[in-house]
Chain A
Amino acid sequence: MVGKREDAWKLGAGWNDTFLWYAKAVIALKSRPVTDRTSWRYLAAMHQFDRNLWIGLGIIDKKTKLPSASDMDVAWNQCQHSSFYFLPWHRGYLARFEEIIAATIVSLGGNAGWKLPYWNYLDSTNPNARKIPEAFLLKYLPDGTTRNPLEDVPRYGQKVLGPEPRLHIDDIDLSAMDEPDFTGSVSFGGSKTLFSNPDIGIRGQLENVPHGSVHVLVGGARPANPGDGYLSAFETAGLDPLFWLHHCNIDRLWAAWMIKPGVNMEAGKQWLDGPSNRAFAVPKADGSGLENYTARDTLNGGKFYPDYDDLHAGTGVAAVPAGGQAAVLVQGPATMTEPKVIGANGEKITLGDAPVETAVKIAPQAGKAMVTAMGPGAPEADSGKRTFLKLENIRGASSAGGLKAYVNAPAGSEKDLPQEYVAGSAALFGLGSASKVDGQHGGNGITLIFDISDLARRLVDQGNFDPSNIRVKIVSAHGGGSTNPITIERVSVLRE
């Protein structure tokens, strides 16, 4: 191992060496046939593949020869989302991608040791942080004639990251970093699942924001943008060279979270050595075969453990003061007790262009206890308990979009719902893929959990909280609109 992964914005403006060689390598990978395990398209299909979609987008044509069935069964369609495998699977995927790019650069006459840069969009000390690095926006390579493959992909969204009100996606932040547990229905890393999460899977907070948001904010989604870009869907995300820099930062946020004092890392066998029903696989760096890996290989000491130049800038994790104690990683029982459902709405929701309001009823005793716990004079142990709003099995046909939920917003504010009543917002990255019944993800859509502890406390203080009638307003914008709406099986309230 030589060198470390660095901040993309610190490599120098425009065409620095790292990006120029990356661009040359991408051109080389793109020229390889899809049957080549080190080709651009093979690597993207490992995330998710849909033949008809790829033909429609001109990525392949009807006659394109695909890899053998056994290759596709083992290596393609692997992306792990809404699962505690999200971070380790992507880490191995990034590491091998980086090796393949580095080897290609050497074969093109460049230096050894190329490292994948990360897009540190939440670094508040860098005024450029939220901008897409320049090399990804230039039309040509420095020679002025070769088309720049880092730019030559459909992107319909933002060039500078920020909120997207037309999709109801709020600004990105680092709140996920405050989750103390790696695994769980409310967690940093996602819920415990099998490979590809066919049954019960809940997005980890990091996977929701900033991960999912950045995908859709940059890729763009209808109706806010003229199209859904490659970054907005599982099946095309890996075809955008920026995907790898985005995921590199997500991976670095995981590495940074690990050095936070008191976090509870997953240490179960199902996570370390799983999944039991299908193994993770990557091509060998020279493409001569495939190779399995597990989450264990992505941890310290493992073959896919990454090395970053910095884990503090843009991660919200404070640097250890000189002479201070390094954080000790705790691997024990979860900090938070698994929250239990205490209330739910009465029926499945169908959501088109117009906002939908649904009434959530909390079981009488639990509601009373909750209000008491939030009032003055409540026992210390109870007042710290967290409350959540859960949107279960959000399904829809459009590849992406966004959604936002409000609690007890005042009547008559439909046009301009006040931000202070927001329970949470989410980019619906991979919605179509996760909702497809006959696909790897089992058609159970996306399940989101928003922390509404502070909001609920404020509402109780204002006397605007009747546990038997909590009004949840949901707004959404997505490609399907009212003719092809989103459905939400259930809206529920959970409490620790």
Chain B
Amino acid sequence: MMVAGVGLVASSMLGIHADLPSICVASEQLSLSAVVASSRFFIATNPTGTLALAWLTMLIAMMTPLLALPLSHVHASSLADRRLRASTGFLLGYFGVWLFAGYPLLAVAIALRLLAGNASAALMTACLLALIWSASPMQMAAQNRAHRLRRIGLFGLAADRDCLAFGATLGGWCLASSWPWMLVPLFVAHTHLAAMFGVAIILMAERLRGPGPLRWRFPVVLSIPTGWIRETVICRRSSGATGHV
């Protein structure tokens, strides 16, 4: 909880949701050079260290709740006196992948911003993209693979390698499964924290839905309200009333 809180505050330093530099607004059409130039400008005006730190804290805030089960696998699979080291290796692998993904994601965000013309159109497009992605079998395939467990060695460097590899693989599939949602908070200016929190809940709900066969389906975010209704029915029913789906 502490980590998540600190992350929320620090991530608001990531100013991509503010209006992008004028160079973007000027370019009528999307071109690779415009994206590159804008990205360069953005990175130049925001120190890399700060940018990376802000991105990382945002990730830690949003992703940590998703890692409970994989972390417990790492924990339970390691010798008692190596558990901290093993968890650290796993987290390095996991967030390492996300850290490197920051740049391509930033480029996608800027491209989207250029295409859309203004921040609110970019936000709408990102949300739509995320909804379509959530409904797609591709997302389901990535999500399924983000549940896969692999061996964790017990001794020496082999154990560290296994933890790193498990973290990195999981991070990769998490990224593949949730990348459009990660764009959304970047286009929200005033309620950035709320947007991040909302996206974190959506990602949690997607993971909790669990694995399943590949097909187009109703996006989880739209079924969250029904889930809540079902939950209340269960609670009410266990205290006497009869339940329906």
Report which A residues bind B (CB closer than 8 A): 74, 77, 185, 194-196, 198-200, 272-273, 276-279, 281, 289-294, 296-297, 340-344, 346-348, 361, 363, 366, 392-393, 437-444, 489-490, 492
Q: Which of B1-9, B74-82, B124-132 makes up part of the contact surface?
A: B74-82
B208: Cβ under 8 A from any A Cβ: yes
Q: Which residue of B lies closest to A197 (CB)?
A: B210
The complex places the Cα of A438 from the Cα of B214 at a distance, in Å, of: 6
The complex places the Cα of A439 from the Cα of B211 at a distance, in Å, of: 6
Say yes or no: A74 contacts B210, CB within 8 Å: no
Say yes or no: A438 contacts B144, CB within 8 Å: yes
Q: Which residue of A lies closest to B80 (CB)?
A: A340
Chain A residues closer than 8 Å to B79, beta-carbon distance? 341-342, 363, 366
Q: Which of B87-95, B181-189, B235-243 makes up part of the contact surface?
A: B235-243
Q: Which residue of B lies closest to A490 (CB)?
A: B151
Q: Which residue of B lies closest to A51 (CB)?
A: B213
Chain B residues closer than 8 Å to A296, beta-carbon distance? 238
Given A199-B149, A200-B72, A346-B158: A281 in contact with B245 (beta carbons within 8 A): yes
Say yes or no: A291 contacts B243, CB within 8 Å: yes
Given A290-B245, A341-B77, A490-B151: A440 in contact with B211 (beta carbons within 8 A): yes
Say yes or no: B234 contacts A273, CB within 8 Å: yes
Chain A residues closer than 8 Å to B155, beta-carbon distance? 344, 361, 363
B154: Cβ under 8 A from any A Cβ: yes
Say yes or no: B245 contacts A444, CB within 8 Å: no
The complex places the Cα of A363 from the Cα of B76 at a distance, in Å, of: 15
Say yes or no: B76 contacts A277, CB within 8 Å: no
Q: Convert B128-163 into 0s and 1s, putting 1 for each residue whose CB lies closer than 8 angstroms to a CB of A.
A: 000000000000110011011111111100100000
B209: Cβ under 8 A from any A Cβ: yes
The complex places the Cα of A477 from the Cα of B158 at a distance, in Å, of: 31
Say yes or no: B80 contacts A442, CB within 8 Å: no
Given A344-B154, A363-B154: A442 in contact with B245 (beta carbons within 8 A): no
Say yes or no: A289 contacts B212, CB within 8 Å: no
Chain B residues closer than 8 Å to A199, beta-carbon distance? 69-70, 73, 147, 149
Partner of A194, one of B148, B210, B231, B245: B210
B193: Cβ under 8 A from any A Cβ: no
Q: Known contacts A278-B210, A443-B147; can you find 20 more A-B pairs with CB under 8 A? A: A194-B208, A195-B210, A199-B73, A199-B149, A200-B73, A200-B149, A281-B245, A290-B244, A290-B245, A292-B234, A294-B234, A341-B77, A342-B79, A363-B155, A392-B77, A443-B148, A443-B211, A489-B150, A490-B77, A490-B152
Say yes or no: B209 contacts A277, CB within 8 Å: yes
The complex places the Cα of A342 from the Cα of B82 at a distance, in Å, of: 11
Chain A residues closer than 8 Å to B145, beta-carbon distance? 437
Partner of A442, one of B73, B210, B238, B242: B210
Say yes or no: A198 contacts B210, CB within 8 Å: yes
The complex places the Cα of A35 from the Cα of B64 at a distance, in Å, of: 42
Partner of A292, one of B69, B208, B210, B237: B237
- B187-212 residues with Cβ-Cβ distance < 8 A to A are 208-212
Q: How far is the CB of A389 from chain B (nearest CB, A)?
A: 14
The complex places the Cα of A277 from the Cα of B207 at a distance, in Å, of: 9
Chain B residues closer than 8 Å to A297, beta-carbon distance? 238
The complex places the Cα of A343 from the Cα of B210 at a distance, in Å, of: 31
Say yes or no: A291 contacts B244, CB within 8 Å: yes
Q: How far is the CB of A338 from chain B (nearest CB, A)?
A: 8
Say yes or no: A292 contacts B154, CB within 8 Å: no
Given A340-B80, A443-B211: A198 in contact with B147 (beta carbons within 8 A): yes
The complex places the Cα of A444 from the Cα of B212 at a distance, in Å, of: 13
Q: How far is the CB of B84 from chain A (nearest CB, A)?
A: 15
Partner of B243, one of A292, A361, A438: A292
B233: Cβ under 8 A from any A Cβ: yes
Chain B residues closer than 8 Å to A272, beta-carbon distance? 238
Chain A residues closer than 8 Å to B149, beta-carbon distance? 199-200, 392-393, 444, 489
The complex places the Cα of A196 from the Cα of B144 at a distance, in Å, of: 13
B230: Cβ under 8 A from any A Cβ: yes
Chain B residues closer than 8 Å to A292, beta-carbon distance? 230, 233-234, 237, 243-245
Say yes or no: B234 contacts A442, CB within 8 Å: no
The complex places the Cα of A341 from the Cα of B243 at a distance, in Å, of: 43
Given A277-B210, A292-B237, A292-B245: A437 in contact with B144 (beta carbons within 8 A): yes
- B215-243 residues with Cβ-Cβ distance < 8 A to A are 230-231, 233-235, 237-238, 242-243
Say yes or no: A276 contacts B76, CB within 8 Å: no
Chain A residues closer than 8 Å to B140, beta-carbon distance? 438
Given A195-B210, A292-B237, A363-B79: A442 in contact with B154 (beta carbons within 8 A): no
Say yes or no: A442 contacts B208, CB within 8 Å: no
- B151-181 residues with Cβ-Cβ distance < 8 A to A are 151-155, 158
The complex places the Cα of A196 from the Cα of B210 at a distance, in Å, of: 8
Say yes or no: A438 contacts B150, CB within 8 Å: no
Q: How far is the CB of A76 from chain B (nearest CB, A)?
A: 11
Q: Which residue of B lies closest to A360 (CB)?
A: B154
Chain A residues closer than 8 Å to B80, beta-carbon distance? 340
Chain B residues closer than 8 Å to A393, beta-carbon distance? 149-151
